């Protein structure tokens, strides 16, 4: 039985209301991260290296901060602040709650992420100084950050612990540097980074497919883990 | 409409250091039940099982005729729940919460009643939750719950931490809500005064076990405190209905369970002179019931 859509087990509009609530309550900080993200994209258009590196660091930082903010604020803080009791007193099951949280987080983060990805692609393809071949590396890197976001969301929902979420967040931030180092050392990627046109070769597609598979797996495991819980408060 | 708002049959839940054991409970539709127990007795666990928030290991749970946890969405649509540990979103205003709950319950939300509650609770809709006192936060939670006219109210320690003025405001509003005879209420508290004030049925729970569940008048009628003068300093002969004896020389204070006037004949037959016979408060009865149950359990007797 699909508990997310069956009218006998779902209050119409409640999941949408929960998604809207999370987006409304986090709209201001997300807008701020978006503004800083757009500034970082603007810095990438500078000819000199200084602003370009500053823009790159700022862009990655904003993606990390937006990801952390959403998961902590909508999932673990809701439990710590005891607002979860209020939500779970409404006509909703825990799986529907999980569904609402995943939808709200994906919608909020994906909107931000897509704007940043589109902006990066726009900068790469519009700036003569930046080789178009970098688009493949940037896409894979941003997808890694999306996958990490989904992992954090799953950890937050399943562990219900701010501490564990922050531990995994710290580890994945260290992992980002290692991932960037590894990716730039993969010959099939590295050799085309300075190319005039992006080269979407088998290696690039394999890494992208692995990232997408990881995202699906993390989402599946989150739903599975939540469905096995007996106690929700 | 189901005959019972809440029915629990053989409900158990085991934790490493606590177990809720074989709870059987029935709240008739329109009834008001007070659930009394010391801290850690299992009141909140029991309430969370009724709300589908904690799973039972065994037993049946029916709320408003719906089986819990499977049909919790249908049941919770008509339940108003508030607990001492429930909080609202601190960075949002009460108005935002009212607007949001009205959207979630478009058919049930009563805007006019919400405004009336705002006034009687002396709340400011435009105020952010983080700027409110504990009492204002509790009243805000009750407003959001009551303004959608739920058929069943489940309240877990609703007056805990409230100052006397806020407590009176909440209790007064509860009295008005309870005037609707089709509405059922279950509320837990360790404040027996609140329970005595509001309930018509009372359930005592201790160490995960149901001690007793009866209507309020039965409790008040069945317990007495009796002062007697004894003919000697020797201990009074034990009697199954005398649950406590505090003796100083010739004077003794007795607590009597299942009181009937012929109990006094039993005492006078032993040479005792009856002094005062007084009714006990619900708090005294609660303590006496719990101690009696604990003593019986320790002695291996099934009370």
pLDDT > 80? residue B301: no
Q: How far is residue A56's CA from residue A52's CA, in Å, rounded to a whole number?
A: 6
Q: Residue B236: what pLDDT?
A: 78
Whether B21 maps to a domain, the answer reads yes
**B86 contacts in chain A (CB < 8 Å):** 82, 85-86, 89
Number of domains composing chain A: 1
End of a domain among B214, B243, B271? B214
Q: Residue B132: what pLDDT?
A: 95
A-B contacts at Cβ under 8 angstroms: 71
Residue numbers of the domain that contains A223: 23-227
Residue A62, min C-alpha distance to chain B (Å): 23
End of a domain among B162, B179, B214? B214
Mean pLDDT computed over every residue of chain A: 93
**Nearest CB to B53; choose among A14, A82, A233:** A233
Lowest mean pLDDT among A18-27, B7-16, B17-26, B181-190: B181-190
Whether B292 maps to a domain, the answer reads no
pLDDT > 50? residue A2: no
Same domain, yes or no: B114 and B258? no
User: What proportion of chain A, given as a percentage, has pLDDT over 90?
Assistant: 90
Whether B294 maps to a domain, the answer reads no
What ipTM is given for this predicted complex? 0.86
Contact B76 A14 (CB under 8 A): no
Whether B143 maps to a domain, the answer reads yes
Residue B130 pLDDT level (bands cut at 50, 70, 90): very high
Whether A222 maps to a domain, the answer reads yes
Same domain, yes or no: B238 and B267? yes
Same domain, yes or no: B165 and B257? no
Interface contact B67, partner A, CB < 8 A: no
Same domain, yes or no: B232 and B209? no
Q: Residue B303: what pLDDT?
A: 55
Q: What's the CATH number where B86 sits? A: 3.40.50.300
Of the candidates A208, A45, A33, the residue with the CA atom closest to the CA atom of residue A112 = A33
Q: Residue B196: what pLDDT?
A: 84
**Nearest CB to A233; choose among B54, B72, B145:** B54
Same domain, yes or no: B132 and B57? yes
Q: Per-residue pLDDT averaged across B167-186, rounded?
A: 81
pLDDT > 90? residue A60: yes
Interface contact A10, partner B, CB < 8 A: yes
CB B6 within 8 A of CB B68: no
**Nearest CB to A86; choose among B76, B77, B86:** B86
Whether B289 maps to a domain, the answer reads no
Q: What is the pLDDT of residues B269-281, one digit of tens each?
A: 888 899 999 999 8
Whether A5 maps to a domain, the answer reads no
Whether A13 maps to a domain, the answer reads no
End of a domain among B214, B233, B254? B214
Contact A89 B51 (CB under 8 A): yes
Query: What is the DSSP secondary-structure string of chain B?
Result: --SEEEEEEEEEEEETTEEEEEEEEEEETT-EEEEE--TTSSHHHHHHHHTTSB--SEEEEEETTEETTTTHHHHHTTEEEEETT----TTSBHHHHHHHHHHHSTTT--HHHHHHHHHHTT--TTSBGGGS-HHHHHHHHHHHHHTT--SEEEEESTTTT--HHHHHHHHHHHHHHHTSTT-EEEEEES-HHHHHHH-SEEEEEETTEEEEEEEHHHHHHH-EEEEEE-SSSSPPPP-TTEEEEEEETTEEEEEESS--THHHHHHHHTTPEEEEEEE--HHHHHHHHHHHHHHHHHTT---
pLDDT > 80? residue B22: yes
CB B50 within 8 A of CB B185: no
Same domain, yes or no: B90 and B207? yes
Q: Residue A3: what pLDDT?
A: 42
**B145 contacts in chain A (CB < 8 Å):** 89
pLDDT > 60? residue B226: yes
Q: Per-residue pLDDT averaged across B129-147, rounded?
A: 93
User: What proportion of chain B, given as a percentage, has pLDDT over 70?
Assistant: 98
**B16 contacts in chain A (CB < 8 Å):** none
In A, minimum Cα distance to B49 occurs at A231
pLDDT > 60? residue A6: no
Residue B166 pLDDT level (bands cut at 50, 70, 90): confident
Whether B248 maps to a domain, the answer reads yes
Same domain, yes or no: B111 and B22? yes
Whether A8 maps to a domain, the answer reads no
Same domain, yes or no: B167 and B259? no
Number of domains composing chain B: 2
Contact A92 B73 (CB under 8 A): yes
Whether A122 maps to a domain, the answer reads yes
Residue B228 pLDDT level (bands cut at 50, 70, 90): very high
Whether A15 maps to a domain, the answer reads no
Q: What is the pLDDT of residues A72-123, one digit of tens each?
A: 999 999 999 999 999 999 999 999 999 999 999 999 999 999 999 999 999 9
CB B202 within 8 A of CB B215: yes
pLDDT > 80? residue B154: yes
Residue A4 pLDDT level (bands cut at 50, 70, 90): very low
User: What proportion of chain A, given as a percentage, has pLDDT over 70?
Assistant: 97
Interface contact A79, partner B, CB < 8 A: no
Residue numbers of the domain that contains B237: 224-279
Residue B264 pLDDT level (bands cut at 50, 70, 90): confident
Same domain, yes or no: B239 and B171? no
User: What proportion of chain B, given as a percentage, has pLDDT over 90?
Assistant: 57
Same domain, yes or no: B134 and B79? yes
Interface contact A2, partner B, CB < 8 A: no
Q: Residue B302: what pLDDT?
A: 60
Phi, psi of A133 (to 5 degrees): -60, -20
- Helix or strand or coil: residue A37? helix
Same domain, yes or no: B57 and B195? yes
Which residues partner with B206 through β-bridges?
A: B209
CB A63 within 8 A of CB A144: no
Q: Residue A5: what pLDDT?
A: 47
Residue B215, min C-alpha distance to chain A (Å): 28
Contact B52 A93 (CB under 8 A): yes
Mean pLDDT computed over every residue of chain B: 90
Same domain, yes or no: B77 and B197? yes
Whether A93 maps to a domain, the answer reads yes
User: B186 is written with which tokens?
Assistant: 């279950």
Whether B275 maps to a domain, the answer reads yes
Whether B138 maps to a domain, the answer reads yes
Interface contact B100, partner A, CB < 8 A: yes
Q: What is the pLDDT of residues B86-124, one digit of tens each?
A: 999 999 999 999 999 999 999 999 999 999 999 988 999
In A, minimum Cα distance to B73 occurs at A91
pLDDT > 90? residue A194: yes
**Nearest CB to A231; choose among B54, B76, B100:** B54
Whether A1 maps to a domain, the answer reads no
Residue A228, min C-alpha distance to chain B (Å): 11
């Amino acid at each position: 039985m699909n508990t997310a859509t069956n009218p006998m087990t779902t209050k119409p509009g409640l999941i949408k209301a929960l998604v809207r609530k999370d987006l409304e309550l986090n709209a201001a900080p997300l807008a701020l991260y978006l503004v800083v993200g757009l500034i970082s994209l603007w810095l990438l258009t500078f000819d000199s290296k200084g602003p370009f590196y500053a823009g790159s660091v700022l862009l990655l930082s904003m993606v990390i901060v937006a990801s952390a903010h959403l998961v902590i604020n909508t999932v673990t803080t809701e439990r710590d602040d005891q607002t979860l009791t209020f939500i779970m007193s409404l006509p909703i099951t825990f799986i529907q709650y999980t569904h609402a949280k995943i939808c709200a987080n994906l919608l909020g983060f994906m909107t931000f992420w897509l704007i940043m990805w589109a902006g990066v692609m726009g900068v790469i393809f519009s700036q003569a100084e930046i080789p178009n071949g970098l688009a493949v590396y940037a896409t894979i890197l941003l997808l890694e950050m999306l996958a990490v976001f989904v992992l954090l969301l799953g950890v937050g929902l399943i562990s219900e612990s701010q501490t564990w979420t922050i531990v995994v967040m710290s580890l994945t931030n260290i992992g980002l540097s290692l991932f960037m180092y590894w990716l730039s050392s993969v010959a099939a990627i590295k050799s085309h980074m300075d190319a005039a046109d992006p080269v979407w070769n088998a290696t690039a597609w394999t890494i992208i497919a692995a990232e997408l598979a990881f995202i699906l797996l993390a989402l599946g495991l989150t739903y599975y883990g939540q469905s096995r819980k007996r106690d929700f408060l | 409409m189901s005959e019972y708002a809440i029915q629990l049959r053989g409900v158990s839940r085991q934790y490493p250091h606590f177990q809720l054991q074989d709870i059987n409970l029935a709240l008739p539709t329109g009834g008001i039940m007070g659930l009394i127990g010391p801290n850690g007795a299992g009141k909140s666990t029991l309430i969370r099982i009724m709300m589908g928030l904690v799973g039972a290991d065994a037993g049946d749970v029916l709320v408003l005729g719906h089986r819990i946890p499977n049909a919790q969405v249908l049941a919770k649509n008509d339940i108003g729940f508030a607990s001492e540990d429930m909080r609202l979103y601190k960075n949002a205003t009460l108005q935002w919460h009212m607007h949001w709950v009205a959207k979630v319950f478009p058919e049930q939300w009563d805007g006019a009643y919400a405004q009336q509650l705002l006034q009687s609770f002396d709340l400011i809709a435009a105020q952010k939750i983080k700027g409110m006192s504990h009492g204002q936060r509790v009243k805000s939670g009750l407003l959001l719950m009551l303004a959608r006219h739920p058929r069943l109210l489940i309240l877990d320690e609703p007056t805990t931490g409230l100052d006397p003025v806020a407590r009176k405001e909440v209790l007064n509003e509860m009295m008005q809500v309870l005037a609707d005879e089709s509405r059922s209420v279950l509320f837990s508290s360790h404040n027996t005064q609140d329970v005595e004030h509001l309930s018509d049925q009372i359930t005592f729970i201790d160490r995960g076990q149901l001690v007793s569940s009866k209507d309020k008048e039965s409790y008040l009628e069945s317990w007495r405190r009796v002062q007697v003068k004894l003919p000697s300093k020797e201990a009074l002969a034990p009697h199954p209905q005398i649950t406590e004896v505090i003796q100083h020389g010739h004077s003794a204070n007795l607590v009597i369970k299942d009181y009937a006037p012929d109990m006094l004949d039993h005492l006078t037959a032993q040479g005792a002179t009856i002094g005062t016979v007084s009714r006990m408060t619900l708090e005294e009865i609660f303590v006496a019931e719990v101690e009696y149950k604990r003593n019986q359990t320790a002695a291996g007797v099934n009370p």
